[in-house]
Amino acid sequence: MSMAIRFHEFGGPEVLRYEAVEVGEPGPGEVRIRQRAIGVNFVDIYQRNGLYQVALPAIAGNEAAGEVSAVGAGVTSLKVGDRVAYVGKVGAYCEERLMPADRLVQLPEAIGFDQAAAMLLKGLTVQYLIRQSYRVEPGDIVLFHAAAGGVGLIACQWLKSLGARVIGTAGSDEKCALAIRHGAEYCINYRTENIVERVKELTGGAGVPVVYDSVGKETFDASLRCLRPYGLLVSFGNASGPVPPLDLSILAQLGSLYVTRPTLNTYTAKRADLESMAAELFQVVTSGMVKIDINHRYPLKDAAQAHRDLEARRTTGSTVLIPE
């Protein structure tokens, strides 16, 4: 048996229950993992509240790191004791679980379990955002919303290492200062400043070639208006709620703009892509170009409180759960 955080209905953090679940032995192509650290992400909240539908009852969570404790038939790439991490497979908020071996990545010795759980989903997200959805070039000025969050802090550092100039947004002066310490050149406090006016001022009226927006409803219109002609809005989250239906004619009116709604699952669907993206992420972290800030740790049983704090935007950097 394994202790896990499970929900039997969609709703607020109160639907999360700490209860025992059966794990069993790994089948063909599977391994069993003893989990050492578990990542907390907004996608977990979207699944818990029903914005993203999952089959019920469900164990929450999509990211963790730990050790292989048993290996099923046909698995030759992993052995008991190997240090591994994964992302994108619902059911992470638990002490032990079964996983398909081909969805796991092996961890370099220089990366700890808590660091891996704090960075894999967020770091791979940054990889596809800035290296694939729009390939950022030296000298590009980019707008990155929620720059003091887990994804944002990784992005600010990585973008700076590429020679890009980052305009971040955040909800307080303290969060703006944090984003600037991590590589943002400017940070707009959206509670006291007008995002569009400030971006136009900072770019001499030109706008930016790309906006990365995980906030959703509250920032979507402003994001479009910050783009230069032919610019791209990469909408990759809904922290403030889903984006309302879009009248495509606005894209023409604002300069023949582009909008994309990518997902990490699409970019990592092929094993070779998952491996190459993870390798690039591990390289920028082990080289010191990107540092992973784990600013919040909770026992696994306190997952509901972690969700409350994340939803209330009381967190910065990455948050992890630790099985006891």
Higher pLDDT, 115 or 324: 115
Q: What is the pLDDT of residue 301?
A: 98
Domains and CATH numbers, the chain: 2-120+267-322 (3.90.180.10), 138-261 (3.40.50.720)
Average pLDDT over residues 178-202: 97
Residue 297 has pLDDT above 90, yes or no: yes
pLDDT at residue 240, rounded to an integer: 85
Task: Tell me the pTM.
Answer: 0.92
Report whether 28 contacts 73 (CB < 8 A).
yes
Q: What local confidence, expressed as pLDDT, does residue 324 receive? A: 83
* pLDDT at res. 181: 97
Could you report the per-residue pLDDT of 16-53, keeping only the tens digit for each?
Answer: 999 999 999 999 999 999 999 999 999 999 999 999 99
pLDDT at 151 over 90: yes
Which of 13, 312, 320, 318 has the alpha carbon at shortest distance from 172? 312
Residues 70, 28 contacting (CB under 8 angstroms)? no
249 vs 22, 47, 155, 172, 320, CA distance in Å?
53, 32, 31, 34, 42
Say what the pLDDT of residue 316 is: 87
Rounded to a whole number of angstroms, the distance between the first and last alpha carbons of the chain is 14
**pLDDT tens per residue across span 79-99:** 999 999 999 899 999 999 999
Share of the chain above pLDDT 70, in %: 100
Residues 244-254 have pLDDT tens digits of 999 999 999 99
